[in-house]
Chain A
Amino acid sequence: MLYEIKNLVKNYDGRNILDISCSLQRGKITGLLGPNGAGKTTLLEVLAFLMQPTSGDILFKGSRVDFAKADLTDMRKKVVLLHQKPILFSTTVYSNVEFPLRIRNVKKSERQGIADQLLAMVGMEKFSRAKANKLSGGETQRVAIAQALACSPEVILMDEPTSSIDIENRVIIEAIIQEINRTRGISVIFTTHDRGQAARLADNIVYLNEGRLADSLNENIFSGSIERDKENNKFFITHHGIKIPVRTEKTGFVRISIDPAEIKLGQETDDFSSGCTFKGKVIQLTDEQKYIRVLIDIGISLSVTLERDIYLRNPPGIGGTVFLDLPPEKIEIF
């Protein structure tokens, strides 16, 4: 096991921004998936030994990490963190990639070869003599990856590696992530809030929500109010005026979450048992390996996940009309 995290808590201003226990496997690509504020970046900084947790333990390759120890440099040499918006030192691109080699006392004659090879790997060899702080976001990200690889790390932690770059660089960086894992055996742990990216890249996905592990992420979250009709049936009414039947004792302003796997899709002729059927139009389809994610407009956008086999039996196309069933008992109200 690469990391074993036991009752790890990070408290900030009296609030637990991280409170988890989990294990992360060696040699794999692990995706930490969660919305903004889920504690993903905090977890990465703790895993990079840059931030001391308030309590709890971390075992790195079976050894307990002693954060109270003044110098964790030796441990940090095995793990490197790439920030969401990496910053390069205000020297040349080459000097930046050479820096980790220099501080590891690698001979000057060897440094040149390694740095050139790494820059070629990320497609930045032409920029070797360029000033690092003049590069674009995507180029900076690629140089930062070469810089990280120069450390010959066992683990690379990446915080939202493609969040602030264009699609061309995103494709390049995703390919680099897979390559460094396959060819160099480096364990990669990256954060993202993009399910598609997590599904494309990760061998394992860890869901984080409000600093805690989650089985999956709450999706299809809407806010609105609970109201009754003349027959005393309760409805959740969104701000857009969409009425969804619910079963609850709550009244007034609430938020609801509908699990995308619990929504059934079908045709008009299908017999839906719940009686809570909506007509909608397919506006987006995403292949998430095991699942196909279908985004349906019913006045609000609802995300539905279908197992690949089920989807292929009767595949709805973009723009196609579908009927979906929202059983009231499957709607979580909070």
Chain B
Amino acid sequence: MNFFLDSFKSALQLIWSLDQDLLVIISVSLKVSLFSTLFSSLIGVPLGLAISMGEFRAKRFLITILNTLLALPTVVIGLFVYSFISRRGFLGPIGLLYTTKAMIIGQIILIVPIVTTLTLSAVSRIDNRYRKTAMTLGANSLQTALVIVREGRFAILASVITAFGRVIAEVGISMMLGGNAKGFTRTMTTAMALEFDKGEFTMSVALGMILLFIAFFVNVVFHYLQGKTGE
């Protein structure tokens, strides 16, 4: 118990002193997660909308595939992207391996299915009369989609936040594609894993606390938005 309390105390001191190493790790984590969430949203939200509003034969099959992709392990994605961007890979010459760009690509693959399925589910719950009303008032497909997005904005935003929560806490992709290089690709989760291996618990506990705080903050926003959706 003393060991935990001591680590906890030291961690608080580390956070309070705004330790430079800690700040760099946090900034890398946030940068990678925010960019991957942004790009995933740009892909996933329109894709979710298109699948939800579209009428095509393979619709059910596509939804099943997307649901399956939700369970994709991060190490599998890491391995998959690695095979493309490693020196021997197809995209090897670009030199993406062990960069934040590689981490972002891997994380996009991880959360595009999350944003897409949650958007799809959010849009499906929106009253169908909104779509019909927009159409009968003369809106074209794009204008109708924008009406749906506006009516479901809180639920769609909640899906984006969920995806952010997923990437900020993932470790497999960051480790395999980022390489955990100090000051460059070291994120909160990969740093925690490394410090744990070294037996340096203070940094691990400090990072864990910050990660928990971010998770808490994200959840507060999420519940606020969920409340808005129900209004």
Contact residues in A for B129 (Cβ distance below 8 Å)? 83, 85-87
A82 closest partner in B (C-beta): B136
**A100 in contact with B137 (CB, 8 Å):** yes
Contact residues in B for A50 (Cβ distance below 8 Å)? 132, 135-136
Q: Which residues, 182 to 231 on B, are CB-close (under 8 Å) to A? A: none
A214 vs B151: C-alpha distance in the bound complex, in angstroms?
A: 41
A148 vs B135: C-alpha distance in the bound complex, in angstroms?
A: 12
**B141 in contact with A71 (CB, 8 Å):** yes
Q: Which residues, 102 to 150 on B, are CB-close (under 8 Å) to A? A: 127, 129-130, 132-133, 135-141, 143, 147, 150
A209 within 8 A of B: no
Tell which of B130, B135, B150 touches A76, judged by Cβ atoms closer than 8 Å.
Answer: B135
Tell which of B132, B138, B139, B143 touches A83, judged by Cβ atoms closer than 8 Å.
Answer: B132
Interface of A, secondary structure class, is loop
Q: Which residues, 15 to 71 on A, are CB-close (under 8 Å) to B? A: 45, 48, 50, 71
**B130 in contact with A87 (CB, 8 Å):** yes
Contact residues in B for A79 (Cβ distance below 8 Å)? 136
**A71 in contact with B133 (CB, 8 Å):** no
Tell me, rounded to whole Å, the shortest Cβ–Cβ distance linking B228 to chain A: 10
Determine the interface band of chain B, counting residues with CB < 8 A from chain A.
10 to 19
**B136 in contact with A81 (CB, 8 Å):** yes
If A86-B129, A89-B147, A90-B151 touch, does A73 touch B136 (CB 8 Å cutoff)? Answer: no
A291 within 8 A of B: no
Tell which of B127, B130, B133, B139 touches A103, judged by Cβ atoms closer than 8 Å.
Answer: B139
Contact residues in A for B136 (Cβ distance below 8 Å)? 48, 50, 76, 79-81
A83 vs B134: C-alpha distance in the bound complex, in angstroms?
A: 12
A45 vs B141: C-alpha distance in the bound complex, in angstroms?
A: 18
A71 vs B139: C-alpha distance in the bound complex, in angstroms?
A: 11
A100 closest partner in B (C-beta): B137
A50 vs B128: C-alpha distance in the bound complex, in angstroms?
A: 12
B136 closest partner in A (C-beta): A81
**B135 in contact with A103 (CB, 8 Å):** no
**B137 in contact with A73 (CB, 8 Å):** no
Tell which of A89, A90, A100 touches B138, judged by Cβ atoms closer than 8 Å.
Answer: A100
**A151 in contact with B137 (CB, 8 Å):** yes
Tell me, rounded to whole Å, the shortest Cβ–Cβ distance linking A84 to chain B: 10
A313 within 8 A of B: no
Contact residues in B for A151 (Cβ distance below 8 Å)? 137-138
Q: Which residues, 91 to 111 on A, are CB-close (under 8 Å) to B? A: 91, 99-100, 103-104
A227 vs B137: C-alpha distance in the bound complex, in angstroms?
A: 57
A247 within 8 A of B: no
A303 within 8 A of B: no
**A87 in contact with B138 (CB, 8 Å):** no
Using CB atoms and an 8 Å cutoff, list the residues of chain A in contact with chain B.
45, 48, 50, 71, 73, 76-77, 79-81, 83, 85-87, 89-91, 99-100, 103-104, 147-148, 151
Closest 6 pairs (CB-CB, A-B):
A77-B138, A87-B129, A81-B136, A100-B137, A73-B140, A80-B136
* Apart from the given pairs A87-B133, A104-B138, 5 other A-B contacts in the complex at a CB distance below 8 Å: A76-B136, A81-B136, A83-B132, A90-B150, A100-B138
